[in-house]
A and B are shown apart, each in its own frame.
Chain A
Amino acid sequence: MATRTQFENSNEIGVFSKLTNTYCLVALGGSENFYSAFEAELGDSIPIAHTTIAGTRIIGRMTAGNRRGLLVPTQTTDQELQHLRNSLPDSVKIQRVEERLSALGNVVCCNDYVALVHPDIDRETEEIISDVLGVEVFRQTISGNILVGSYCSLSNQGGLVHPQTSVQDQEELSSLLQVPLVAGTVNRGSAVVGAGMVVNDYLAVTGLDTTAPELSVIESIFRLQDGNPDSISGNLRDTLIETYS
């Protein structure tokens, strides 16, 4: 299921929210329309935590996470950390990361199995990502772009990368990530696909400006047409090494 919404007239949903298979974070101060886009689809299945990170609302860009864990930057306050600990399920490990590149949402792009990281992050951070999120970590760029979290939107079923990614790079990344990739845009031509939308195994949320063709590409690459959580994603992952140009 792919829905469109706006956060205070901004179409960059991936900036103000974070969506995984076990929890969802949303920024404070949005309108009811914004929250209802999530609540209508997620209902009671996973908890939705309203929070700030380091006093800011750009929580999607400051944090990185998947079903197993959530990484928050150094600047996160103790109250925020406590609030997250209370709101998220116990199975989700929360860890504060001391990293110079503190916008973790921009430097890390991950799903439940694999993570791409900015080539310059610390060794320690790489190990923490591997431990807490339980993923294989690759230092990669997306066709020369070091901000992998901003220019790639990734789920367990597929990935969307920015439109200038060459077919060669798509193939390389696809074999690393073990999911099909497609190059495309979101929010009516925006190349920053990681920040423009959020996605998990059964829901994608994009900005209101997203055109119908963009939305259909998103629905097809992330396999969202079914509307139900796809329980066979684990098996599919081993067999799928396809690329789309």
Chain B
Amino acid sequence: MAQAIKLSELTSRKRRVEETNNSEEESDINISSTDSEKEDEEAENGTKKEDDGEEIVNIDFDFFSGNPNVDFHALKNLMRQLFGAQESNRIQLSALADLILESPTTTIKTDGQESDPYCFLSFINYKENRKCDYVQYLKKIDNRLSTFFDTIDGNNNKTCALVMSERLINMPPEVVPPLYKITLEDVSNSLGDGKHYDFYIIVSRKYEVNFDMEEDDGESGSRSKKRVKQNEIDYFHEEDRFFEKHSKIHFQSEAKKGVIASYIMIDHEGLVKSIDEFEKEIASW
């Protein structure tokens, strides 16, 4: 992925890798960052095994708020991954990234405040950004979404948030419940009086388990309806399983090269319940 990287940082990154390699033998040393900037920063330890099963590398996942100086390009890349190559051309990703950085956002980074986020979650206030390009895009996707938006527009008491959430494919799902809790707290602080959004629109993706990348699009297109029943569908974002269970509306698009875009409309209670159930599920692993 094309990223803006400072050339001076490249040499300092290499130095840091050498340092951690040297200290690997003394694996008792914990290299977690000790300077916490905001009260919502949490350090969670994850361990990754190397291929040969002998080495264990300690990775710290630090939670930060969205940082407009550092995160812009990485957020754009993550959103390009979320929407897929085709759909991302139809959305103004730069405008959306700016919107994310203005809204309550939590990012997860492993290399400190100045590095790129590998995961983010953001709640964008729908009513304040009714005219934005992203909302126009959502309205064109399906009638159910545009009807829902029209209903919310007519109702002065109910509020709605557009949920933007994406992460690198190998992020451990254990980070998701704390991520949601922290960001929901941020939202309450920003809305004031412990208020929360009433409804959430979540855009996510799923995949067909047995999709063969080598087959032509034309061939699979005509048989895609049969295929969906035969093919198992699994979730990129494990929490979607619970969201869909408690959602008011959820639907998905046709499979394109084995990837399916999914849309979920869920209310606040449903969201909180889903996160709790997901947490219990994780505890049982």
Q: Do A and B bind each other?
A: yes
Residue-by-residue, is A180-191 near B (CB-CB < 8 Å gives 1, otherwise 0)?
000001011111
What A residues does B33 contact at CB under 8 A? none
* Closest Cβ–Cβ distance, residue A206 to chain B (whole Å): 13
- Chain A residue at minimum C-beta to C-beta distance from B8: A164
* Closest Cβ–Cβ distance, residue A201 to chain B (whole Å): 28
Q: How far is the CA of A12 from the CA of B1 in the complex (A)?
A: 13
Q: How far is the CA of A10 from the CA of B85 in the complex (A)?
A: 11
A8-B89, A9-B88, A188-B72 known; A164-B2 Cβ under 8 A: no
What B residues does A208 contact at CB under 8 A? 94
What B residues does A10 contact at CB under 8 A? 2
Q: How far is the CA of A31 from the CA of B90 in the complex (A)?
A: 11
Q: Are B89 and A191 closer than 8 Å at their CB atoms?
A: no
Q: How far is the CA of A189 from the CA of B67 in the complex (A)?
A: 14
Q: Are B7 and A162 closer than 8 Å at their CB atoms?
A: yes
* Closest Cβ–Cβ distance, residue B113 to chain A (whole Å): 16
Q: Are B6 and A164 closer than 8 Å at their CB atoms?
A: yes
What B residues does A39 contact at CB under 8 A? none
Q: Enumerate B1-28 residues with CB–CB distance to A below 8 Å.
A: 2, 4-8
Q: How far is the CA of A162 from the CA of B6 in the complex (A)?
A: 10
Q: Is A209 an interface residue (CB 8 A)?
A: yes
What A residues does B88 contact at CB under 8 A? 9
A8-B89, A9-B89 known; A191-B4 Cβ under 8 A: yes
Q: Is A145 an interface residue (CB 8 A)?
A: yes
- Chain B residue at minimum C-beta to C-beta distance from A151: B7
Residue-by-residue, is B125-164 near A (CB-CB < 8 Å gives 1, otherwise 0)?
0000000000000000000000000000000000000000
The residue that A189 contacts in the complex, of B4, B7, B89, B93, with Cβ under 8 A, is B4
What A residues does B246 contact at CB under 8 A? none
Q: Are A12 and B73 closer than 8 Å at their CB atoms?
A: no
What A residues does B250 contact at CB under 8 A? none
Q: Are B93 and A191 closer than 8 Å at their CB atoms?
A: no
Residue-by-residue, is B99-110 near A (CB-CB < 8 Å gives 1, otherwise 0)?
000000000000
Q: Are A145 and B93 closer than 8 Å at their CB atoms?
A: no
The residue that A188 contacts in the complex, of B5, B73, B89, B93, with Cβ under 8 A, is B73
Residue-by-residue, is A1-30 near B (CB-CB < 8 Å gives 1, otherwise 0)?
000000011101000000000000000000
Q: Is B237 an interface residue (CB 8 A)?
A: no
Q: Are B93 and A9 closer than 8 Å at their CB atoms?
A: yes
Q: How far is the CA of A9 from the CA of B73 in the complex (A)?
A: 12
Q: Are A191 and B2 closer than 8 Å at their CB atoms?
A: no
What A residues does B7 contact at CB under 8 A? 145, 162, 164, 191
Q: How far is the CA of A208 from the CA of B97 in the complex (A)?
A: 13
Q: Is B80 an interface residue (CB 8 A)?
A: yes
A9-B80, A9-B93, A209-B94 known; A190-B4 Cβ under 8 A: yes
What is A's interface to B at a CB cutoff of 8 Å? 8-10, 12, 31, 145, 162-164, 185, 187-191, 208-209
What is B's interface to A at a CB cutoff of 8 Å? 2, 4-8, 72-73, 80, 88-89, 93-94
- Please list 26 pairs of residues, one from A and one from B, whose beta carbons are closer than 8 Å in the complex, sorted by A's number: A8-B89, A9-B88, A9-B89, A9-B93, A10-B2, A12-B2, A31-B89, A145-B7, A162-B7, A164-B6, A164-B7, A164-B8, A185-B4, A187-B4, A188-B4, A188-B72, A188-B73, A189-B4, A189-B72, A190-B73, A191-B4, A191-B5, A191-B6, A208-B94, A209-B72, A209-B94
**6 closest A-B pairs by CB:** A190-B4, A189-B4, A164-B7, A9-B89, A209-B94, A9-B88
